[in-house]
């Protein structure tokens, strides 16, 4: 089955810096890659996703890149703000089946 | 904006007891999921449900677990005889026809088994 690895497990940046979180997946059949943000004690919130027919997608300060050949995808947050502090999870799935999550990255943005 | 809702928010139970966790998916969604998250760990898939039957389940979803859509709005997860290791946050999620991949999560039920 699918296995998703996520790095780093923790990331500390200064406000205004960029943050990059990387994930790799094992199943070449996976074609949907969402990123969720989870604040303490709250539900995972979808912040951006990418499908395998594109290589990059951007939404304001957040972007995701996908390299299908290498089976990895990354989340890029620019101009980080304290409210970006949370746990970020990547996930992979094939055509709407189960989401397989990475272990999460705790992002801390200090002002 | 419509959201997935879950009840109760917290549940404490004794080992061996049955619990039922309830979810109300977004009204026009047809695909339903249960995930769990043990404290400090990643979110793990349990089961998916479509057209009144299970479409996929993980190794975690053993005979102690069952799901049901008892009416047009609720989607439930039953754990027949709870174990200490069932303590976790349980999330329901749903997605719609035409965009099955995009899953929206509920706020979760924190289950504590003593």
Could you tell me the end-to-end alpha-carbon distance of chain B, in angstroms, rounded to an integer?
37
Residue A95 pLDDT exceeds 90 = no
Residue B45 to residue A95, Cβ atoms within 8 A: no
- C-beta neighbour count of B7 within 10 angstroms: 14
How much is the average pLDDT of B17-21?
A: 98
Structure tokens at B12: 């404490």
Structure tokens at A85: 């502090």
Paired strand residues for A32: A51, A93
Q: What is the DSSP letter of A71?
A: T
Among A45, A51, A89, the residue with its CB nearest the CB of B43 is: A89
How much is the average pLDDT of B79-104?
A: 94
Given a contact cutoff of 8 angstroms between Cβ atoms, the answer to whether B42 and A106 are in contact is: no
Q: Tens of pLDDT along B20-71?
A: 999 999 998 999 999 999 998 899 999 999 999 999 999 999 999 999 998 8
Strands A10-14 and A105-110: parallel
Residue B48 to residue A97, Cβ atoms within 8 A: yes
Contacts (Cβ under 8 Å, ≥6 apart) of B114: B12, B13, B14, B15, B84
- C-beta neighbour count of B74 within 10 angstroms: 13
Q: Tens of pLDDT along A43-65?
A: 999 999 999 888 999 999 999 99
pLDDT (0 to 100) of residue A27: 93
Among B100, B102, B107, the residue with its CB nearest the CB of A43 is: B107
Q: Is the peptide bond before A8 cis (omega within 30 degrees of 0)?
A: yes
């Amino acid at each position: 089955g699918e296995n998703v690895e996520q790095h780093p497990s923790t990331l500390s940046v200064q406000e205004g810096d960029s943050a990059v979180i990387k994930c790799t997946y094992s199943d070449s059949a996976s074609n949907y890659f969402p990123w969720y943000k989870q604040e303490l004690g709250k539900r995972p919130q979808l912040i951006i996703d990418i499908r395998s027919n594109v290589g990059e997608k951007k939404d304001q300060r957040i972007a995701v890149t996908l390299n299908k050949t290498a089976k990895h995808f990354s989340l890029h947050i620019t101009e980080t703000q304290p409210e970006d502090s949370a746990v970020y999870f990547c996930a992979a799935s094939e055509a709407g089946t189960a989401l397989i999550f990475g272990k999460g990255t705790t992002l801390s943005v200090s002002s | 904006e419509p959201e997935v809702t879950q009840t109760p928010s917290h549940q404490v139970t004794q080992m061996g007891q049955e619990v039922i966790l309830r979810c109300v998916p977004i009204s026009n969604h047809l695909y339903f999921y249960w995930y769990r998250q043990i404290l400090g760990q990643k979110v793990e898939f349990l089961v998916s449900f479509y057209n009144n039957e299970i479409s996929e389940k993980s190794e975690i979803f053993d005979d102690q677990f069952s799901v049901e859509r008892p009416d047009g709005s609720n989607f439930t997860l039953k754990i027949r005889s709870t174990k200490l290791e069932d303590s976790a946050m349980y999330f329901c999620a749903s997605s719609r026809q035409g965009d099955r991949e995009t899953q929206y999560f509920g706020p979760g039920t924190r289950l504590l088994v003593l």
